[in-house]
Amino acid sequence: MNSRSRVYDQALSLHAYRNRLQIATFAIFLGCGLLFLRFFWLQIFQYEHYRTLAEANRITISPVVPSRGIIMDREGRPLANNYSAYTLEIMPYQVDDLDETIDALSKIVDITPRDRRRFHKLYDESRNFDSLPIRNRLSEVEVAKFAVNRYRFPGVEIRARLFRNYPEGLTASHLIGYIGRINDNDISKLDDAGLLPNYRGSEHLGKVGIEQSYERELHGLTGSEQLETDAGGRAVHSLARKEPVSGNDLTLSIDLGLQQVAENAFGNRRGALVAIEPSTGEVLAFVSQPGFDPNLFVDGIDQANWENLNQSIDKPLNNRASRGLYPPGSTIKPFMALAGLQTKHRTPESVIQDPGYFAFPGSSHRYRDWKPEGHGTVDLHRSIVQSCDTYYYTLANELGIDVMHDYLAQFGFGEKTGIDLEGELPGVLPSRAWKKTRFHQEWFGGETVISGIGQGYNQMTPLQMAGAVAALANGGKFYQPHIVKSIRESATGNRRDIKPVLVRDAGLREEDFNAVRDAMVDVLLPGGTAAQAGAGTPYKFAGKTGTAQVVAIKQNEKYVESRVKERNRDHAWFVGFAPADAPRIALAVLVENGGHGGTSAAPIARQVVDYWLLGKKANSPASDLEADTPPAKPGTTKPSDENEEHHND
């Protein structure tokens, strides 16, 4: 750098600076010119046009709400659809005295105190320019009566609106979910997503289930109508209209018949069932019992029904299938067995001696087998068929918790399955690292031992168990469970199929897989833990029973003792797939407080698999085992105390 440029030449710099200022000044005038031209154009050339628009700006643009997409089962049977009905609506900003108007209206059409309460609630929550319904589903006579008196009620109108309807009521309620009124929270979420303009005029959105997770597909595109309005704000005539685009229709992979068979099989017991097609991840049935009637929520649920649902001891609003957490118990054993085989800690032939317990060398603490006298000499096959605990205590101790964790994680335990429903829980698949983060504690060897039989920290959802057993049935290929099979775009009429997503492949060796599968088949044959439920199947049914211990329940003294005891019983599990050599269905069944898996969960699975593989007629052998009882109605469940909690929360 030469010395000249180092010397700061103030005069030169000032000159350059003033030069730049001049350029800036020029730019400013250029900008003003541009603005002026624009204003000149708008206010001189286009003046007439805009004046007319402003005069008639009583031309209001009002949204035209699209009709919501329909939800169907895999055979096209409707699970959620719409129907049209008349509503009587008030535009509060055009009415001076709301109560007076409502009083006058009630002389013409029936208005119950409940209608009034609901209206006031809506009014308090609503956005500025809403027209709010005071009465839904007017009869023809009422419509005619009001039409005659309409002149007396400025700001009150009859509108035809679409209502959501769930024709199957309680069936698959957790899965389908429901729509509800848009509240402030929803508005801010929509705003953040930039979707609010599309919801102008919409009053509902999906709150739970498929209705929620596919809200964007189901809602459709809001149209608009330019209306010329009179001084009172009433539409005189329509100037232009942009038609709305209806929401997309969803076809689920659920089979309504199978779903109903499954729900009926539960009777009035609590629990969950998830059935999956292993080769695709399609969910065939998704049960959480008891259910609720989603129709109650559409127009805002009333206090009595809400309390009934919310405070019931049975917790019907809990989605047990994807949010219920239960220790997997012995249903973990087939996966543990695979872990032993794949890591070469076991061969199908290697045996252990079971004296009825496992103990660490030099320790007097005994980890007991469920069979006090022990199973004697046990190989892998017997360990599954008879559900030997000691075999898995030993195996777990040899593998160590972290090897177990890493192996079992391949089947999707400990993380969300990624199903197309919101709110799914990941459960817990423990490891040293997990315990460190969760409790800031070291891992103990004894915790490994009990993890080997699916107890301890293990917490899984029925959905996860179903996903895992589907992956097992599939030779280790885990397809993401999904519920929507195809989406029909209403704009184009095209059908979009949802493709199976292969998440991971545990890569089971064939001989390992065969050893475990054969043992699982024998579980349902004489000598197995679910022999009773497996009796007389014309197909090969592979499965595994399990029980999950119900530990500490906070109980309220008010409860009758018999009830308490029922709630203290073990949860019953069954996981399985069939036909064993070419699986078409894999499922997990959990019966809360059901006792033993073989006697209470397995028969439900049997009915479901029979229906799926043999068709409707062949529903016989299983129904001997379990009497069909109608599902519990939400209205009849006993009210209970909020303190009551299942350990699986």
Query: Which residues are annotated as catalytic?
Result: 330
Show the 3-state SS of 101-170: HHHHHHCCCCCCHHHHHHHHHHHHHCCCCCCEEEECCCCHHHHHHHHHHHHHCCCEEEEEEEEEECCCCC
For residue 578, give the DSSP letter: E
Nearest distance in Å: CB 122, other proteins: 21
User: Residue 628: left (phi > 0), alpha (psi -120 to 50), or beta?
Assistant: beta
3-state secondary structure of 380: helix
User: Smaller CB distance to other proteins: residue 236 or 501?
Assistant: 236
Q: How many helices (H) and strands (E) does the chain have?
A: 25, 23
H helices of 474-549, where?
510-523, 531-534
Q: Could you say whether residue 238 binds other proteins (CB under 8 A)?
A: no
Closest separation in Å from C-beta 202 to other proteins: 11
Q: Smallest distance from the beta carbon of 6 to other proteins, in angstroms?
A: 6
Identity of the residue numbered 371: K
Instruction: List the one residue out of 400, 402, 405 whose CA is nearest residue 415.
Output: 405
As measured in angstroms, the least distance from the Cβ of 187 to other proteins is 10
Instruction: Indicate which single residue of 2, 3, 4, 24 sits in contact with other proteins (rule: CB under 8 A).
Output: 24
Judged by CB under 8 A, the chain residues 173 through 192 that form the site for other proteins are 188, 191-192
273 within 8 A of 587, measured Cβ to Cβ: yes
Nearer to other proteins, 193 or 304 (CB): 193
* C-beta of 197 vs 445, nearer to other proteins: 197
Residue among 101, 213, 222, 410 that touches other proteins (CB under 8 A): 222
Contact 530, 602 (CB under 8 A): yes
Q: In the bound complex, what is the minimum distance in angstroms from residue 199's beta carbon to other proteins?
A: 9
Check binding of 245 to other proteins (CB under 8 A).
Answer: no
Instruction: Answer yes or no whether residue 202 interacts with other proteins by CB under 8 A.
Output: no
Strands 571-578 and 585-591: antiparallel
629 near other proteins, rule: CB under 8 A: no
Tell me the C-alpha distance between 105 and 98, whole Å.
10
Interacting residue with other proteins among 3, 4, 8, 627 (CB under 8 A): 8
Q: Does 198 bind other proteins (CB under 8 A)?
A: yes
Is residue 98 a contact residue for other proteins (CB under 8 A)? Answer: no
Contact between 501 and other proteins by CB under 8 A: the answer reads no
Alpha carbon separation from 189 to 181, 244, 443, 537 (Å, rounded): 14, 22, 41, 51
Closest distance to other proteins from the beta carbon of 338 (Å): 44
Least distance (Å) between residue 356 CB and other proteins: 58
Binds other proteins by CB under 8 A, chosen from 98, 162, 196, 351: 196
Q: Are strands 376-378 and 352-354 parallel, antiparallel or unpaired?
A: antiparallel
Q: Does 216 bind other proteins (CB under 8 A)?
A: no
Least separation in angstroms between residue 225's CB and other proteins is 10
Contact stretch for other proteins (CB under 8 A) within 42-50, 204-212, 476-484, 571-579: 42-50
**194 lies in the binding site for other proteins (CB under 8 A):** yes
Whether omega for the bond prior to residue 334 falls within 30 degrees of 0, making it cis, is no
Pairing, β 477-479 against β 235-242: unpaired
Q: Encode 411-433: b = buried (16+ Cβ within 10 Å), e = exposed.
A: bbbbebbbbbbeebbbbbbbbbe
- Side-chain half-sphere of 574: how many Cα atoms within 13 Å? 35
Q: Are 247 and 204 in contact (CB under 8 A)?
A: no
Contacting other proteins (CB under 8 A), which of 145, 161, 200, 488?
200
Query: Quick one: which of 74, 216, 234, 242 contacts other proteins (CB under 8 A)?
Result: 242
**Is 147 or 236 the residue whose CB approaches other proteins more closely?**
236
Q: Which stretch binds other proteins (CB under 8 A): 5-13, 444-452, 547-555, 590-598?
A: 5-13
Task: State yes or no: residue 46 binds other proteins (CB under 8 A).
Answer: yes
Q: Alpha-carbon distance 524 to 123, whole Å?
A: 60
Distance of CA 645 to the CA centre of its chain: 22
- The mark string for 368-407 relative to other proteins (x by CB under 8 A, - otherwise) is ----------------------------------------
Residue 18 touching other proteins (CB under 8 A): yes
Pick 198 or 387: Cβ nearer other proteins: 198
Of the candidates 310, 307, 268, 305, the residue with the CA atom closest to the CA atom of residue 289: 268
Q: Is 6 in the site for other proteins (CB under 8 A)?
A: yes
Alpha carbon 386 to its chain's center: 35
Residue 28 contacts other proteins per CB under 8 A: yes
568 scored as a contact of other proteins (CB under 8 A) = no
Find, among 135, 137, 156, 146, the residue nearest to 91 by Cα: 156
Judged by CB under 8 A, does residue 304 bind other proteins? no
Question: Does residue number 63 form part of the binding site for other proteins (CB under 8 A)?
Answer: yes
Q: What is the DSSP string of 69-84?
A: PPEE-TTS-EEEEEEE
Measured from the CB atom, the residue of 53 and 582 that comes closer to other proteins is: 53
Instruction: Point out which span in 20-28, 360-368, 496-504, 572-580 binds other proteins (CB under 8 A).
Output: 20-28
Binding residue count for other proteins, defined by CB under 8 A: 47
Supply 219's token pair.
Answer: 């809602």
Total length of the chain: 649
Please identify, among the stretches 12-20, 78-86, 495-503, 545-553, the one whose residues bind other proteins according to the rule CB under 8 A: 12-20
Q: Is residue 76 a contact residue for other proteins (CB under 8 A)? A: no
Residues that bind other proteins (CB under 8 A): 6, 8, 13, 16-18, 20-21, 24-25, 28-29, 31-32, 34-36, 38-40, 42-44, 46-47, 49-51, 53-55, 57-58, 61, 63, 188, 191-194, 196-198, 200, 222, 224, 242
